[in-house]
Structure 1
Amino acid sequence: MDDSPPIVKFVSQKISKIRWKPNQNQYSHETDVFATGNWDDEAGKVCLWKLPSMEQEVMDMEAGGYDPAVREPNLLCEVPHTGDVTDLEFISADHVVSSSSTGTVTLYRHHTNSQTLGASMSWEGIHKDPGDKGCPCTCLTTQGEDMVVSAGEDGRINVLNVAYRKPVRVIDKANSCTINGITFLKQLEVISVDSSGQLKVFDLRQASGDPVRTFALSGEQTPLQCVARHPTQYHIVATGAYDGVLSVWDLRQEKFPVTPLEAHSAAIWEVKFHPNNPDHLFTCSEDGSVWHWNASSVASLVTGTGAGSGGGSLFSQNTPTGGAGNMSITSPWLVLDSGRQKLDVKSKLSLTLPLNTIDIVSQILLCGSDEEAIYAMDIPGIR
């Protein structure tokens, strides 16, 4: 099952972002609808797709009429989008928000009865260069069903509320270079990564707009391209760098907060913890690959529940021994400096052109690429 080929849907557009739609039932993580955005095309668009259920596949097989094409995602609806889609997030089960290379952020509503997408709010040109011309909004993050935070090439951070047509807060000089990724740490705290290799934490309640904490990779200023927060331990974040290095950060530490792991041969565009099983992490890269990082064997060593042999490749960090200090270790991602710890790392997909985006819910991993295709694959044993 683990080696079963992915479902492939050729869509005649380069996929820049892909995101699972949350289930309206808060007690279930299962979903079969996802959104995509494209880039480098004459016509930008945001699309919604539906992945046929496994139950339907079983019924088709039992009826003797199984066709592999039946498992391909079906297009539900699409809506024009001005510029490239640079980021995409669901703010609720029926609302998805996108950021654009034109500097605009748009909120779309999915009308389920008519199966249409329509723009319900747009914040135009909220990212600008010194000449007051629009510049790309590079990333966004959401909190609850009403708050959106965007960041861009202008180093600006905008706090948006879906009830207001103008930003409710603007941090003009949040950064002197491009902000490449941003995510919420807590309800009113965000963390950003930038082209100088820094992580900056902003408390949106503070009037000054200055970061409350700043972390940096040592040595050369390698751009950080993406950031993901651990779903249950908010002091742990993972970042992907332009040189292909995956790093895990412990934000409780000041001196040695980072564990760098040699990873891809080119830029990491997205990193994702599994939302319900964060011992598993996924990365995608400019080199055309998707990797599955499994820290379960390390977790067994931390908890003392198994031998932890893992059978995977050995990765050790470059930070000084003892960087974890005397803090209690509660996550396998924080003990990777020990030579005994092994990560099981598998390549899930390998293409010729860049893999730009990934998302995972339950045991289905979605991928989008410059090969103008969507990929869906089962990751057994994770839910």
Structure 2
Amino acid sequence: MLRVPVQNPDGSPAMPTKASRARYWVQRGKATSHWNDAGLYYVRLVAEPSGRETQKISVGCDPGKNYTGIAVQSAKFTLYTAHLVLPFERVKERLGSAVIKRGKVIKNVRGRSLQRQVRRGRKIDRKVPFNQRSHRQKRFNNRCKKSKLAPSIRASREMEIRIITELSKVFPITTIVYELVKADVDLTSGRKAARSGKGFSPVMVGQNWCVEKLKSIAPVKTVYGWQKNKNGTSQIRQHLGLEKIKDKKAQVPESHAVDGIALAASEFVRYGVTPRKNCDTRGWKGYVNITYCVFRVITRPAYFRRALHFDNAEKGGVRKRKGGTITPFGLRYGDKVIAEKAGKTDIGWIGGFTNTKTKNISVYDHNWKRIGQFSPKKVQLLRRSNKLCVV
């Protein structure tokens, strides 16, 4: 039942085909095999196909604060499902020693301010005029920001946009179904006023911003999680017989990907009124077939950029190596590699190294937990970093 995506010779998406037919094309030289950043195998035709007709294919996106479910669905097949671990969840996991209150990460503000004061005092010579000082000038006016979108929410929405963009390159997507939530705050009373439509919420601003960006890929249709006309995500999922578990951290299709399937299937089935001669009847109309398909868990590497002047220098003016993405062994942080140790091979991503007497490379899994330290001679590069970990 698996379907393999197909591209035309010019790179435009065509209708998916059977896995056996895709293998036949590759073996006979009629197509070439490729992998995209979303962890999807596809083939590209060498010669012009006999026709370019396409059928209706929709993408369902169930966004969340920590996790997102995405699915690609046609009338006859489920083509792709994915479970996205959003950047905000990765920040909370990485800063385990930090204080987390109500889902917000509270950093060491005092230590950060002290380091900033030391940097300013070291860079600025106050004896010279202000316009001749050697400190960095301001890059922008941070007192009049144009956007109210929080950086954490923007990073999560950008990750969803990137995955859907990669899918649009191999699937002829006709519609994107995006779920909305009403989670706002009443500015007059300061209380939560869910589903009221009053006040301001960064979550809703992020959703509206994401919808506008997705419109450049395909027409976007918005759906709420629960609707009175029984066309919400929950009602469609129950009608299709899809089970959903309560454990949102579980990296299985039943946690979030099933909602993506329900959203995508809303383009093929709908609850409505059927006119009759004597009396109108209400029920489900349309047909969609839910099948077994590819499932991917997508995360982002937890490394960070080089932090110059993170702490004061030690004796001799030597500073600690903090952050960075380059290793002295020809590999970079986030590169997908295969490593061997004691006769056992592991596939993971580069996340650190030691360049002392023992030269080792640290390899991490997609949850950014270290698998082990390996010798550079026994680490082989599979793919350069694309800032995504897909399993």
Q: TM-score, normalised by structure 1?
A: 0.23
Instruction: Name the structure with the higher strand share.
Output: 1
Which structure ranks higher in relative contact order (CA pairs < 8 Å, sequence separation ≥ 6)? 2
Larger gyration radius, structure 1 or structure 2: 2
Q: TM-score, normalised by structure 2?
A: 0.23
